[in-house]
A and B are shown apart, each in its own frame.
Chain A
């Protein structure tokens, strides 16, 4: 992962807005990517994943986009709610058994 100390990127939105969180990954050989949500005092929680043979995958209120050309992932959250406030991390799986390399987190704050 990249080290950015305490200065994580932040995104502030109003309740009901759509949110887009971006992530750059480092390993062009990675073929499986995951987004995690981490609330204060808790461990990361799986949100959605995508394989490298796809460029888009949708879940409930969330969509992940993958651009392998520029090694970029994004997470779109529709109709953002206050309960979505958390730190969001992208992660790459680099091994056959699932070792994760996490990217830089983004702090999402949703205002009522």
Chain B
């Protein structure tokens, strides 16, 4: 079966541009997470959705970052007025339910480079 997919896989943006990153979770998965991974570091939590509800956005670094999951399936992470420090890999993960012990399945990530 299909895993988590993300698009685009690579995105180059000029500083100040807006970008939108898409995540298609595994069908039927309730939980969806976004993480940011800087070069040479582990992923860091950005935000969490349970179905369409955004229950935790404590990791979003600034108000330039916005995420949505309007129908409880596909999610979009939007970054406005991109800056160089936004350059990173953005990972999406989904899990079947909303339990601590549910395995999170990660997508391949979108590598964002801001020039």
Contacts and interface: CB of A to CB of B under 8 A. Distances in A.
B76 interface: no
Given A43-B107, A44-B106, A1 B42 contact: yes
Contact of B56 (A89, A95, A103): A95
A104 B40 CA distance: 9
Interface in B32-66: 33, 35, 39-45, 48, 50, 55-56
Given A41-B108, A97-B100, A98-B95, 9 more contacts: A5-B40, A32-B101, A89-B43, A96-B98, A97-B48, A97-B56, A97-B99, A101-B45, A105-B42
Given A6-B39, A7-B40, A98-B98, A46 B56 contact: no
A94 B102 CA distance: 13
A31 to B, nearest CB: 8
B40 A43 contact: no
Contacts, number: 79
Interface of B: 4, 31, 33, 35, 39-45, 48, 50, 55-56, 91, 93, 95, 98-109
A49 B95 CA distance: 15
14 contacts: A1-B42, A1-B44, A6-B39, A6-B40, A7-B40, A41-B108, A43-B107, A44-B43, A51-B101, A93-B101, A95-B100, A97-B31, A98-B101, A98-B104
Residue of B55, B95, B106 contacting most chain A CB atoms (<10 Å): B106
Contacts of A102: 42-44
B75 to A, nearest CB: 15
A41 B107 CA distance: 10
A45 interface: yes
A49 B102 CA distance: 10
A91 B45 CA distance: 11
Contacts of B48: 97, 99
A12 to B, nearest CB: 18
